[in-house]
Structure 1
Amino acid sequence: MQQEVIIVGGGMVGLSLALMLAKAKIGVKLLEAIRYPDYDDADLAPYHSSFDARNSALSRRTVQIYQELGLWDALQEHATPILEVNITEQGSFGKARLKAEQEKVESFGQVIENAWLGRVLLTEVKKESLIELIDGVQVTSLTQDTDHAFIEAQRGEEALRLQAKIVIAADGRDSFCRKALGIGASVHDYDQVAIVTTVQTSKPHHHVGFERFSHLGPLALLPLPGEYRRSVVWPVPKGTEGEWLGDENDQHFLDALQQTYGDRAGKFQKTGKRFSFPLSQVLAEKQAVGRVVLMGNAAHTIHPVAGQGFNLCMRDAHVLLRYLKEQVNAGADLGDASMLLDYEKSRLTDQQRVIKFCDSVVRGFSNQNPVLKLIRNTGLVAFDVIPGIKPLVANYAMGLKA
């Protein structure tokens, strides 16, 4: 069978998009550089370079997409809903609170560990006859002509030459495909490293998520399955990460969490292994060239401060799916360049809004100027009391106004 689509990059975005296309009866070749793990233990999802130690806060829109794919029941087993969000700044008076009940929604989204999300997606992909999965493959060339896009790749000793009507490059922040096409990217280094782990607290989380701005960086504490388990994402200044990593620093890390967060969670009792990830914003100058379209972090890598990066990528994928289905129904070329440019144009407003918001929050709360601290804490108070603001922000956060 001739697959009409090649997806380069089999992380969470690539796997999700492959399943969307297969459901639409569109054949896919999915290429991934790293070999996927074999899941021998039904109760284990080991960390893997494609599904690492981080967690994803899935917006309501993303949950809806997985429901459409028939995957949500399997994912729900490993996810927990966010029923309330609290935003505070250490040592300041401002506080903002969003409650799902007040906004008349079931939840603001669901938190899931990437290791489990990746396992569920990979399991489903392996069952799908319309997806040919090729892992452990290094793409070495990407070219195109008027009728096809061509991939050359190496898998061990085997040289592959593949062709398709369209190539979707979801191969990450340092995308080979983006560079092969000569697409430039603007890069902003936040000079921060995200410390990521899971902790256990003495008080149950009650499905409350916290964003706590501190002098080190914005600490996100989100509920996980199990009453006392919470995920931690804590961006800290680059160069200080060694202070937080390693088993010998467990208690030091817990003490720092306690001091920054206070006693709302009770006592921080245990921490898992900490992992670190450098933080930067990488924005491709173009997202569609000829028969190739950039997707996921290859198109836009953003700061995790508001947990919007993966959700934005999922909305991109879902819109691209709609364009490709229209091409199929019309018997038209899946890789039509003008269609892909239309797709890119249709996504710019949503993308730019999210990118600007995340970047503004990071920059705004990084400045410790007393006047600016007063202004932003006054803003948090205003957010909490002025009618009409909360529903608007909540809908954007849930991905329902994209």
Structure 2
Amino acid sequence: MQQDIIIVGGGMVGLSLALMLAKAKIGVKLLEAIKYPNYDDANLAPYHSSFDARNSALSRRSVQIYQELGLWDALQEHATPILQVDITEQGSFGKARLRAEQEKVESFGQVIENAWLGRVLLTQVRQQPLIDLIDGVQVTALTQNEDFASIEAIRGEETLTLNAKLVIAADGRDSFCRKALGIGASVHDYDQVAIVTTVQTSKPHGHVGFERFSHLGPLALLPLPGEYRRSVVWPVKKGTEDEWLGEENDQHFLDALQETYGDRAGKFQKTGKRFCFPLSQVLAEKQAIGRVVLMGNAAHTIHPVAGQGFNLCMRDAYVLLRYLTEQQAKNADLGDAEMLLEYEKSRLKDQQRVIKFCDSVVRGFSNQNPFLKIIRNTGLLAFETIPGIKPLVANYAMGLKA
């Protein structure tokens, strides 16, 4: 079977890119290893391996992309804007604050439940005639020559051989495609797991997002739909996760949140089920080789400390779309190796800046040396007082200066 483009991996990045391509009148075959759920109104957004209990802080740029796709009205039903960001360190004097009103923007971005984002994306993909969706399929081989890339896969008792001008590998941190092509990756284990859940507080969130650095790990508290619901992402030391998981530890978890945040959010009253995810940085040594380009976590998996990972992937996808539409307009080869290398080169500056920033924050705030704490908090005060810094940081965080 011949196809212009095959996307391997139907997570949020793969689905989003497929919809971008379809809007540009480019047909695509989308392969996903896991069977997708069937949605109904009684179970609005069941968890799936790609759309789990986590929430994503969509940057302003990512929101704009979904608006261009005509999806934002549906997505906004389970999203809430971030109008203010407060950054502090437990037991220290430094504090930084960003306000959307001061930066003259409607919001810095929107927090959305991944399960709902996945439902909306998948529903649209299933309705799009230019997208041939095959789920429950396991890719077993990826090869390429001058004319096309070839994928072998199995689906139940069926064996598939698929050829395409271009293969986009968006198959996750442990990408099979990346390994099949012999592309190495640098891996740094942060020795952390992210504890993820939703909590209810006595004070309304007021559309404020908190980043609170503590001795346990960098704690993010983000507003969710409903005045008193907040998303929690708390990276803690690997091996301590059992202390925070399970219903029997609900009160212990709430008490730890209370101690870390104080009364800024009022009383932490209820917690949902907690989930944990290992945290590591995985960076592919190459992102384009021949007729294959890596996308999403297959290209770069980063720490969630600043909520930039998915937004970086969305910018990658949007730029790749531009290169592909230019090729299509010229009736040129969509899998041209030189074009894909140009795409990779065009994205390196933005990628390296975000990767370095996130890694530096994690490493810098993990060190409890008193002298370093003074330097960190002096930096937060400088951020708060020196003119010109806030707009620059805000624009980068919103993805507007990529």
Task: Tell me the TM-score normalised to structure 1 length.
Answer: 0.99
Q: 1:3, 1:26 within 8 Å by CA — same for their partners in 2? A: no
Preserved CA contact (<8 Å) 1:222 1:232: yes
Query: Match for 2:312: what amino acid?
Result: L
- Check conservation: 1:7, 1:28, Cα contact below 8 A: yes
Give how far 1:43 is off.
5.9
2:346 matched residue in structure 1: 346
Identity of aligned residues (%): 89
Residue type matched to 2:6 in 1? I
Task: Please show how residues 296-335 of structure 1 align to structure 2 within 5 Å.
Answer: 296-335=296-335
- Name the SS of the counterpart of 2:35 in structure 1: coil
Letter in 2 for 1:294: L
Q: Which runs of 5+ in 1 are unaligned?
A: none
Whether the 8 Å contact between 1:189 and 1:281 is mirrored in structure 2 is yes
The alignment covers a number of residue pairs equal to 402
**Which ranges in structure 2 are unaligned for 5 or more consecutive residues?**
none
What is the CA-CA distance between 1:74 and the residue it aligns to? Answer: 0.6
Q: Which secondary structure does the structure 2 equivalent of 1:4 belong to?
A: strand
Q: Which residue of 2 is the match for residue 200 of structure 1?
A: 200
Question: What residue in structure 1 maps to residue 147 of structure 2?
Answer: 147
Deviation at 1:3, TM superposition (A): 3.2
Report if the CA contact (8 A) 1:2-1:27 is conserved: no
Task: Report the Cα offset of residue 42 of structure 1.
Answer: 5.8
Structure 1 vs Structure 2 CA RMSD: 0.8
SS at match of 1:134: strand
- 2:64, 2:345 → 1: CA distance? 24
1:111 maps to 2:111: yes
Per-residue CA distance 1:196-245 (angstroms, 9 max, x = gap): 00000000000000000000100000000000000000000000000000
3-state SS of 2:3 partner: coil
Give the counterpart letter for 2:365 in structure 1.
Answer: F
Q: Distance in 1 between matches of 2:127 and 2:254?
A: 42
Question: Equivalences for 1:30-179 in 2 at 5 Å?
Answer: 30-41=30-41, 44-179=44-179
Given that 2:139 and 2:154 are in contact with CA atoms closer than 8 Å, whether structure 1 keeps it comes out as: yes
- 1:328 maps to a residue whose letter is Q
Classify the secondary structure of the residue corresponding to 1:165: strand
Q: Per-residue CA shift, 1:44-101, capped at 9, x if unaligned?
A: 2011101011110000000010011001111111100000000000000100000000
Provide closer, same or farther for how the CA distance between residues 67 and 42 of structure 1 changes in structure 2, counting only shifts above 3 A: farther
Residue by residue over 1:7-37, the C-alpha shift from the partner in whole angstroms, topping out at 9 and shown as x without a partner, is 0000000000000000000001000000000
Shift of 1:41: 2.1
CA distance in 1, matches of 2:161, 2:2: 13
1:81 aligned partner, one-letter code: P
Partners of 2:119 and 2:355 in 1: how far apart? 28
* 1:77 partner SS: helix
Q: In 2, Cα distance between the equivalents of 1:381 and 1:42?
A: 49
**Residue in 1 that maps onto 2:390:** 390
Letter in 1 for 2:131: I
Q: How does 1:232-271 map to 2 (within 5 A)?
A: 232-271=232-271
Runs of 4+ residues over 3 Å off in structure 1: none
- Aligned AA (1:129): P
Q: What is the rounded CA distance, in whole Å, between the counterparts of 1:261 and 1:153 in structure 2?
A: 49
Q: Equivalent residue of 2:281, what SS?
A: strand
Letter in 2 for 1:11: G
TM-score (norm 2): 0.99
Letter in 1 for 2:156: G
